[in-house]
A = this chain, B = another copy of it.
Amino acid sequence: MFTELNHCFRLRRRPTGRVTEADLEYVEEPIPAIGPGQALVRTLYLSVDPTNRIWMSEMRSYIDPVPLGAVMRGIGIGQVVASEREDFPVGAIVTGLTGYQSHAVIDDATDEMPYAVLPEPLPAPLSMFLGALGHTGITAYLGLEDIGRPQPGETVVVSAAAGAVGSIAGQIAKARGCHVVGLAGSDEKCAYVTETLGFDACVNHKAADWRERFDAAAPDGVDVDFENVGGEIMDHVMNRLNYGARIVVCGMISQYEASSGENAWGGQLSIGQLIMRRASMRGFVVLDHADRFPEAIGYLAGLLGEGKLHPEETIVDGIEHARDCLNRLFEGSNRGKLLLRVADAELPVPATEVAAATA
């Protein structure tokens, strides 16, 4: 039925440091035929997330490691192109764990998470359902809403401020009337964070005097730390916490590549400051909160409509670049949400209500 092949990445070895071909192999395979209770999805966009790096490791995590030999797990958006399911008709746009592949099979018996059909009409361009209006934006929203709880006038710090989640977290905090200080890895990114995203300040943590710059940018201390990085940046922030400060532990990207030996992670030195500042730290995983997605998407779509949310995307064409994209996250060379455009929809896509939302 299909003359094309399934373009996919299989996990061959658990990487240390950057992901290589020996770790994540690109292969072309026959597209599986579907049977009863199944539907075939053509992947349109694939989300490239730091957490993918956790899934490749044996780190004790919130989800099982990807088995060696299996197609790499990933969150995607696709279109149903063949179906023996009434709930997933041909043409439907769906989101779920498509994996790092051009064609995925929906099957309740094996899916690690249920697929969802996107609403019609779509309130924004497709790609945004993996970014600002997808798990990325929802992560930023829930982290602030449930753990950070920033009050107007408080100082909110966001690490990886030019990244997918950080860029949105900071904009939400700005919309709530906070003094928002970002941390990012280049002057160019910092300029983007302040000029385009509207943060009050952004400190390049690669500058020699970044600690002094940070202190100058956060003269009243830190009430909320939306933490995506960990390590020495977080240690400095922890030493600037105000009484009763809240740390949203969203990500620890500085740790994900670490292993033993020369890649060993230095660890967090300033945990004792939680005592000194009566501060709290809490971790969360967006996938736990599917019941809150409508609330979150409603809020984010509202911000978008008010022009208070700039949903930056870095879109790379072609699934064959997945490995390089994954490494880019750790090299710090992308801005906002990093996505792979895997294919264009062949069948009609539901109308987009706010087609120009990203403009």
Interface residues of chain A, those whose CB is within 8 Å of chain B, are 59-62, 230, 239, 249-252, 255-256, 265-269, 271-285, 288
CA distance A273 to B62 in the complex (A): 9
CA distance A288 to B244 in the complex (A): 12
Partner of A283, one of B251, B266, B277: B277
Provide the residues of chain B in CB contact with A61, threshold 8 Å: 276
Provide the residues of chain B in CB contact with A60, threshold 8 Å: 239, 273, 276
Is B278 touching A280 in the complex (CB atoms < 8 A)? no
Partner of A268, one of B256, B271, B278: B271
Partner of A249, one of B267, B268, B274, B285: B274
Provide the residues of chain B in CB contact with A284, threshold 8 Å: 275, 278
Is B273 touching A271 in the complex (CB atoms < 8 A)? no
Is A271 touching B252 in the complex (CB atoms < 8 A)? yes
Number of copies: 2
Partner of A267, one of B250, B256, B269: B269
CA distance A282 to B273 in the complex (A): 10
CA distance A268 to B238 in the complex (A): 13
Is B275 touching A252 in the complex (CB atoms < 8 A)? yes
Partner of A280, one of B256, B267, B275, B280: B280
For the complex with contacts A62-B278, A255-B271, 13 further pairs of A-B residues with Cβ separation under 8 Å are A249-B271, A249-B275, A252-B275, A268-B268, A268-B269, A273-B283, A274-B283, A276-B285, A277-B283, A278-B285, A279-B282, A280-B280, A280-B283
Is A255 touching B280 in the complex (CB atoms < 8 A)? no
Provide the residues of chain B in CB contact with A279, threshold 8 Å: 282-283
Q: Give the Cβ gap from A173 to chain B, nearest Cβ, in Å.
A: 20
CA distance A61 to B230 in the complex (A): 21
Q: Give the Cβ gap from A5 to chain B, nearest Cβ, in Å.
A: 36
Provide the residues of chain B in CB contact with A249, threshold 8 Å: 271-272, 274-275
Is B280 touching A281 in the complex (CB atoms < 8 A)? yes
Provide the residues of chain B in CB contact with A278, threshold 8 Å: 62, 282-285, 288
Is B59 touching A271 in the complex (CB atoms < 8 A)? no
Is B272 touching A271 in the complex (CB atoms < 8 A)? no
Provide the residues of chain B in CB contact with A265, threshold 8 Å: 269
Is B276 touching A62 in the complex (CB atoms < 8 A)? yes
Q: Which chain B residue shows the least CB distance to A61?
A: B276
Which 8 residue pairs spanning A and B have beta carbons closest together? A267-B267, A274-B283, A275-B283, A280-B282, A252-B272, A281-B281, A267-B269, A268-B268
Is B275 touching A250 in the complex (CB atoms < 8 A)? yes
Provide the residues of chain B in CB contact with A282, threshold 8 Å: 274, 278-281
- Enumerate 9 A-B pairs (CB-CB under 8 Å) in ascending A order: A249-B272, A252-B271, A256-B272, A268-B271, A274-B282, A275-B284, A278-B284, A280-B281, A281-B282
